[in-house]
């Protein structure tokens, strides 16, 4: 269940209300006339089942609501409603993807910002320390800290939803993010070498717990595909907690960390292996994310068609007439 708030100019308020009313997934509707100061007009709030939000938003966009007003989609949290329960139980897909929510998240989390670069650098530094000290715990920490997942998934999302600006933004973010973080980590490792914190013996000694970072194989691709598919399902449904498991499954950040470490010490075999691991993970996640999003697009279209059929059926079914005062309705 989701809540859709619409702040709309007075001249569009009736159209917006009609759009929110039209459909089998409406639970509650509130309209406060004159409540919106900017734009000058009304505020309309509707509680809808998740499966109906895509069509409602598309129709609100088509009549020009976002150009003059605002559409806000929120999770209402806990709700207690018998009509809401009936709508929820009749839903074709209560985990249906809400595209406007996913696209906004993708644009926000695939931009180059100071915070994004800071997380990339810190995660890569942790990964570098992990491969130096042969610490799988630090590898997991680097995986969780890395912010690159949404940028990778945005590549497939841009193709599915035909957003060339998002595709360009995600590509630039990934290139700049990994380049800056690897260079910063190389400077750190070089400094650590100069002060004696790490030596060439540490790099060339056996490190069985982190060797998977620079020895890619078919399992690397399989894990990337599974992780990306699970991640896409998490961010396109109401099950976002599953995303944590994705972060500790892919080895993009650990691989970039080892690229920096191995390059400083001239271990070109590990540089090549880690670069291959990085490329396999990014490519596997991007393709798997794209295919999973295509599947989500297909299921979303099916849900829209099912809701349209239900709406037509509801409108064509005559309502029972009210009994005359004092009469009794018999079963």
Residue 146, φ and ψ in degrees, nearest 5: -60, 135
In Å, how far are 129, 146, 187, 270, 284 from 257, measured between CA atoms? Answer: 8, 11, 12, 11, 19
The DSSP code sequence of 208-251 is TTTGGGG---HHHHHHHHHHHHHHHHHHTSS-GGGHHHHHTT--
Give pLDDT, residue 170. 95
Dist CA 310 CA 10 (whole Å): 30
97 with 300: CB under 8 angstroms?
Answer: yes
Which pairing describes strands 2-9 and 41-48: parallel, antiparallel, or unpaired? antiparallel
Dist CA 194 CA 315 (whole Å): 77
Q: If DSSP codes are grouped into helix, strand and coil, which group holds residue 34? A: strand
Residues in Cβ contact with 36 at an 8 Å cutoff, skipping those fewer than 6 apart: 7, 8, 9, 42, 43, 69
Q: pLDDT of the chain along its 331 residues, tens only? A: 889 999 999 899 999 999 988 877 888 899 999 998 888 999 999 998 888 888 889 889 998 889 989 999 988 888 888 888 888 887 777 778 888 888 998 999 899 999 999 999 999 999 999 999 998 889 988 988 889 989 999 999 999 999 999 999 999 999 999 999 999 999 999 999 999 888 888 788 888 888 888 888 898 899 889 888 888 888 887 665 555 555 566 789 999 999 999 999 989 999 999 999 999 999 999 999 999 999 988 888 887 777 776 655 455 444 444 444 433 333 3
Dist CA 283 CA 56 (whole Å): 35
Give pLDDT, residue 72. 92
Within 10 Å of residue 1's Cβ, how many Cβ atoms? 22
Query: Which CATH code of 4.10.640.10, 3.40.50.10860, 3.30.70.120, 3.40.50.720 fits the domain covering 2-82+91-96?
Result: 3.30.70.120
Tokens of 32: 């406060």
Give pLDDT, residue 200. 85
Tokens of 297: 């697009």
For residue 45, the surrounding DSSP H or E stretch is: strand 41-48
Domain ranges of the chain: 2-82+91-96, 100-296
């Amino acid at each position: 269940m989701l809540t859709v708030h619409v702040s709309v100019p007075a001249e569009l308020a009736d159209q917006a209300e009609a759009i929110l009313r039209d459909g089998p997934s409406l639970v509650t509707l509130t309209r406060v006339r004159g409540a919106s100061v900017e734009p000058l007009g009304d505020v309309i709030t509707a509680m809808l089942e998740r499966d109906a939000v895509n069509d409602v938003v598309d129709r609100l966009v088509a009549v020009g609501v976002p150009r003059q007003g605002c559409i806000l989609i929120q999770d209402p949290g806990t709700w207690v409603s018998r009509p809401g329960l009936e709508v929820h139980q009749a839903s074709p897909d209560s985990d249906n993807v809400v595209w406007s929510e996913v696209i906004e998240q993708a644009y926000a989390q695939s931009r180059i910002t100071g915070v994004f670069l800071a997380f990339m650098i810190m995660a890569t530094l942790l990964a570098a320390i992990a491969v130096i000290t042969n610490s799988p715990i630090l590898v997991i920490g680097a995986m969780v800290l890395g912010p690159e997942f949404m940028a990778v998934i945005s590549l497939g999302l841009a193709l599915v939803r035909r957003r060339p600006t998002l595709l360009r933004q995600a590509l630039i973010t990934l290139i700049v993010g990994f380049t800056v973080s690897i260079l910063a980590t190389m400077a750190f490792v070089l400094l650590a070498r100069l002060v004696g914190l790490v030596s060439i013996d540490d790099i060339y000694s056996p490190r069985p717990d982190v060797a998977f970072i620079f020895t890619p194989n078919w399992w690397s691709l399989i894990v990337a595909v599974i992780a990306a598919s699970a991640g896409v399902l998490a961010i396109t449904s109401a099950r976002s907690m599953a995303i944590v498991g994705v972060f500790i499954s892919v080895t993009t950040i650990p691989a970039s960390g080892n690229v920096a470490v191995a390059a400083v010490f001239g271990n070109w075999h590990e540089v090549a292996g880690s670069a291959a691991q990085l490329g396999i993970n990014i490519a596997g996640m991007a393709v798997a994310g794209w295919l999973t999003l295509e599947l989500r697009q297909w299921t979303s279209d099916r849900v829209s068609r099912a809701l349209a059929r239900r709406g037509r059926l509801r409108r064509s079914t005559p309502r029972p007439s009210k009994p005359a005062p004092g009469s009794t309705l018999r079963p």
